[in-house]
Amino acid sequence: MSQAQSLQTKLQKGGLIDVSALTQQQALDAAQAAEMTAFVVNCDRARSRSAVLRAIVKAVDFPEFFGSNLDALYDCLCDTVLDHKNGLFLWFDHLHSGDPALAADSEAILAVCADAADFAANNDSRFAYGVVHAGKHPDPEPSHEPAPSEASSTD
């Protein structure tokens, strides 16, 4: 079985897919070949649970009234899975699960995704997701005093 066929089989099964050996494009192409709707969740700048949830909302285009909590995430993922005839695939790009500020929240968000995958399987649908984990966010650069503008100089 080729890598593409193996990936399509995993997508058909749903749940967490190990994407460590794949490029984003390979995963999206496989989802498209499986006729699944695919979204990329850009988590690189997310430094908190609410920021990761906003990244998901932005990628999936959840309704404006999204409650910004894990229960609302579950409800919206389940609704979205059912809205897409052939299922849903999410690619979490650069989820900073290695950042102490996000470690527990990342686990909680991925647990919600696992629950949504179970919901999909129990409702004759598919929900699969892959995660590109990133470590700790880089420490912020120390701030520097802004240089005085030329207009304020007294020559």
Q: Could you tell me the pTM of the whole model?
A: 0.84
User: Cβ distance 43 to 98 under 8 Å?
Assistant: no
pLDDT attached to residue 154? 45
Q: Give me the pLDDT at residue 155, please.
A: 42
| Other Cβ atoms within 10 Å of 57 Cβ, number | 18
pLDDT tens-digit series, residues 50-87: 999 999 999 998 877 778 799 999 999 999 999 999 99
3-state class (DSSP) for residue 48: coil
| CB-based contact 93:43 (threshold 8 Å) | yes
| Residue stretches of the chain with pLDDT short of 50 | 147, 149-155
